[in-house]
Amino acid sequence: MMGQLIRFLPLMLVIALGVVLYRGLSLNPQAMPSALVGKTMPDFALQTLINSDKVVTQADLLGDIVLVNVWATWCPTCKYEHPYLVDVAKDPQVKLYGLNYKDERVAAQQWLQHYEDPYVFSIFDEEGSLGLDLGVYGAPETFVIDHHGIIRKRFAGAIDTQVWRREFAPLIAQLIEEKKQGK
C-alpha cells in the first residue's frame, strides 16, 4: 500500500507545482502593495497649484475621508480618468485633493481651467518630493486616507466606474462606517 502511494508521489508533486505556477500566470505583476498602507501621510509643506503664496501641509488633509489623486498634464491617462474624478468629487462624504506631480504650473492651471477642476485644491509638487515620499512611480495614482490621516489604500492606474466600484466603493463605505462609530 505504502509502496503504491510512493509511486504516485512524483506525479502528485508535479501536479501541485503545476497548480502553483498556473496561479502565477493569472497574477498581475504590476499590482504592488504600497509600502505606505497603514502609515500616516508623509510630512510636506508645498504650495498649492493655484496660489504660489499659499503653503499647505499634511494637516490640511486631516479630519475627512480623503482621496489624493496624483495627476499631471503630461499624463494621457489622467485625461481619461478626469470625468470620473469630477463625479467622485460630487460625493459629499469624501474630499478629493490633487497632487500635481512633476508638472509645469501654467500648463496645469490651464488644464484645470479648460476642464472642470474636481479638486478641493491641488498640491504643486514640481520636484516630485512628496511623490517620492509617497512611493509614486507614475501617474495617475490615487491614495485613500482615513480621517486619522492614515493611508489605507494606494491604487496605480486610471479610475473609472468599474474600478471605482471594485477598488474604492467598499473601502470608502467601510471608512464612513468607521468614522460614524467614532473609531
Partner 1 sequence: MYLIKLVVLFLTLVLSVNQVEASPVDTYEFRDEVTKIRFQALTKELRCPKCQNQNLAGSNSPIAADLRKELYELLQQGKADSEIVHFMVERYGEFVLYRPRVSALTYVLWFGPVLLILLGIIVVIVVVRRKPVAKEVLVLTAEQEDKLKNLLNNK
Residue ranges that bind partner 1, judged by CB under 8 A:
29-30, 32-36, 102, 128, 132-135, 137-138
What are 125's three cell numbers? 509638487
Residue number, 78 or 96, with CB nearest to partner 1: 78
CA distance linking residue 61 with residue 59, whole number of Å: 5
Check if the beta carbon of residue 127 is closer than 8 Å to that of residue 102.
yes
Q: Whole-number minimum distance, CB 93 to partner 1, in Å?
A: 29
Residue number, 32 or 59, with CB nearest to partner 1: 32
Residue number, 89 or 145, with CB nearest to partner 1: 145
Q: Whole-number minimum distance, CB 19 to partner 1, in Å?
A: 16
Q: Whole-number minimum distance, CB 135 to partner 1, in Å?
A: 4
Residue number, 17 or 173, with CB nearest to partner 1: 17
CA distance linking residue 10 with residue 73, whole number of Å: 56
Q: Whole-number minimum distance, CB 112 to partner 1, in Å?
A: 23
- Only one residue has cell 501654467, namely 106
- Please, which residues bridge with residue 144 across strands? 67, 153
